[in-house]
Amino acid sequence: MAIVNRTPDSFFDRGATYGEAAALDAVDTAVDGGAGIIDIGGVKAAPGEEIDAAEELRRIGGFVSAVRARHPDIVISVDTWRAEVGRVVASEGADLLNDAWGGVDPELAEVAAEFGTGLVCTHAGHLPPRTRPHRIAYDDVVADIAATTTGLAERAVSLGVRPDAVLIDPGHDFGKNSRHSLESTRRLPELVATGWPVLVAMSNKDFVGEVLDAPVDQRLEGTLAATAVAAWLGARVFRAHQVIATWRTLRMVSALRGDVDLRIARRGVA
């Protein structure tokens, strides 16, 4: 799942794909690099300038249609917590609504059911959108994640979302400190055991930076290490900034697991 943010202030690319032409080029590059899903966002997750639904739609409304026209077969995801936005992008061809804020707008699941899109059900620590955790504590963070995400998933299905179109996301760094994010990764098998496919969004996040004492632009190795572990433990979808490096990491994990065979195996043959 390649990240393409139509925002001027994203923490990673600092607005590199804010303009439509640059964003479309980024989509092309991601598809060429092996991405199966394009995740389009119009509001950064961190605190900052208030972005209302109208501005969010100005940024991504129409862009979804442009991506669909350019790549008819790619899965298009839109990162939004607002039903109002979800309705517009679903009508433009979005396949998946990526709700990173834990069902804060309960009507978003209804939109997914109405339009037949998929839905990502995320644990965000029960926080409002675009807020950071402060001294947050859990008796058992993974138990809280499992209860919250499966509850959201079951509600979505009860509203009419197809069960095979629902994913759960532990929400690394959302409503969590770095220890919580690390524990969520180690204990991914407990989330996999729920039966819902698990999406992880770990790319260049602060928990990686804190472990490595590294700024945002120096977190690739840590991100790929976390990605490899998550893949080995059963995660299914990986939200990523660096698509080619992520694809290669996942390819290697799949080979080590025995899930794929080498296309060419010359060593010891010639």
* DSSP output for 36-85: SEEEEESS-SSS-S---HHHHHHHHTTHHHHHHHH-TTSEEEEE---HHH
What pLDDT, on a 0 to 100 scale, did the predictor assign at position 48?
82
- Catalogue all structural domains in the chain, each as residue range(s) with its CATH number: 2-257 (3.20.20.20)
Q: How wide is the angle at C-alpha 225 spanned by C-alphas 183 and 96, nearest 5°?
A: 75
Which pLDDT band, with edges at 50, 70 and 90, does 266 fall under? confident
Tokens of 155: 């509600």
Lowest average pLDDT, out of 42-46, 95-99, 143-147, 203-207, goes to 42-46
What pLDDT, on a 0 to 100 scale, did the predictor assign at position 270?
61
149-173 mean pLDDT: 99
Round to whole Å and give the CA distance between 164 and 167.
Answer: 8
35-46 mean pLDDT: 96
Whether the CB-CB separation of 35 and 1 falls below 8 Å is answered with yes
Lowest average pLDDT, out of 12-16, 119-123, 165-169, 209-213, goes to 12-16
pLDDT of 269 over the 80 cut: no
What pLDDT, on a 0 to 100 scale, did the predictor assign at position 10?
83
* SS3 state of residue 49: coil
The contacts of residue 135 (CB under 8 Å, 6+ apart) are none
Tokens of 157: 């299905």
pLDDT of 197 over the 80 cut: yes
